Amino acid sequence: MFRFSVIAAAMLLSAQATLAHAHGSDSAAPPPAKQEAVPVGVSVVKNRPMLVDLKGMTLYYFDRDDSGKKSTCDGKCTERWTPVAASAHARPSGDFTTITRSDGSKMWAFRYRPLYSSHADKVPGDTNGTDDPSSLWHVVRPQRAGPSADGGSHRCRCAR
């Protein structure tokens, strides 16, 4: 009987220590979630800076995407223009924000303009998507156009 009491006491002490550690009293907090890096860079072509994706391909914006809240390029439009995808956990960073598309996926935007690459561009530095002032599609340029009437906001200057 004495042996049984000693074994039972040892088991209770072991269980108590295990339970105390299971509630995190001595354990470290889990590491914070990593912030997704914005998959965009700047390239200079013909002495003009422009935004590019991680493959060096030119990024564009669409004039009809003017609300800052959604992309209007869906369906057949995405056969020529690929949205710059963002993960479900992507967070805004500086001039870069995310927009939820009509299919529920997220995409990156620069100064509230959704970003796209063009299927017409074949190699880094191409601007075959368009860079024509009469077009609705424009190369995204990172320089600032200057202060607006409100004294602080800036609009994206595009190649026109």
DSSP state of 75: T
90-99: pLDDT as tens digits: 999 999 999 9
Q: Are 158 and 140 in contact (CB under 8 A)?
A: yes
Question: Looking at the predicted structure, is the pLDDT value of residue 152 above 90?
Answer: no
The first and second tokens of residue 14, run together, are 């072991």
pLDDT at 133: 74
pTM exceeding the 0.75 threshold for the entire prediction:
no
Task: Convert the pLDDT of each residue in 56-91 to its tens digit.
Answer: 999 999 999 988 889 999 999 999 999 999 999 999
Cα gap 110→116, rounded to integer Å: 10
Cα(124)–Cα(121) distance, integer angstroms: 8
Give the pLDDT score at 134.
81
Q: Based on the number of CB atoms within 10 Å of its own CB, is 76 exposed (0-12), middle (13-18) or buried (19 or more)?
A: exposed
Distance CA 47, CA 88 (A): 36
* pLDDT over threshold 70, residue 8: no
